Amino acid sequence: MSVVPRWALLPAGGAPLFLIGGWTLAQAAQPDGSDPVRQTISALAATGADHRWIMTVGLAGLGLCHLMTALGLVTAAPAGRGLLALGGLATLVLVAFPQRPGGSTTHVVAAGVAFGALAVWPALAVPRRAALPLGQDDRHPPDRSAPRGPARWAPLAVAAVLLGLLGWFAVEFFADGARIGLTERLLAAVEAAVPLAAVLTALACQRRRLEPSGPR
């Protein structure tokens, strides 16, 4: 049976720290100030931005953390882990192709892939066996570590919330709305926190599985 290693907590916890810490420090370092409601995260790492290295390091750390978390979250279905890794890889691509005056198609596409993959992966991360009614397949005895009841639908609910936030950000982005920075930060922060919640849940399930059963 696959077991999530404890080291997976390190990158899972590091993702929101790199992201939120990065934009907090980068905004504070701007000599003329920064408007987090209107200005995007990418603007803090854009070519020509003041102290752009701060947000660049933050985004690079975020991408690497997602890749490492996908490697360690072995109890998740391959499709979900693959999308989490894709989100991390796309984040590294947008770091390699920063926002430029006049725009960067590669940067925009990479950001879209990253946001999309990180929004959908929870829905595809639940192992197929966990979706089967208990006792349906005698070849697979019930697993105390597998999500049951409402827990089966929790990843779908999380993905629905993330897609809703992604839709809100997309509207602001294409309409050049006044809250583009706010919606992007909200979406990115929640997406960065979800892998940590997934790892914590997996470790809790493993502890439950290893606990001795009560008297029968």
pLDDT tens column, 47-66: 989 999 999 999 999 999 99
- The least confident of 99-108, 177-186, 205-214 is 205-214
Domain-embedded: residue 157: yes
Asked if the model's pLDDT at residue 170 lies above 70, the reply is yes
Average pLDDT over every residue of 10-14: 98
Domain-embedded: residue 136: no
Separation in Å, CA 140 to CA 5, 20, 132: 23, 42, 10
Domain-embedded: residue 194: yes
What's the number of domains the chain is made of? 1
- The least confident of 141-145, 149-153, 166-170 is 141-145
CA angle, 145 as apex, 139 and 149 as ends, to 5°? 85
Domain-embedded: residue 213: no
Of 105, 86, 87, 106, which is closest to residue 96 (Cα–Cα)? 106
Domain-embedded: residue 164: yes
Domain-embedded: residue 135: no
Asked if the model's pLDDT at residue 90 lies above 90, the reply is yes
Q: What range does the domain containing 185 cover? A: 6-125+147-202
Domain-embedded: residue 141: no
Domain-embedded: residue 132: no
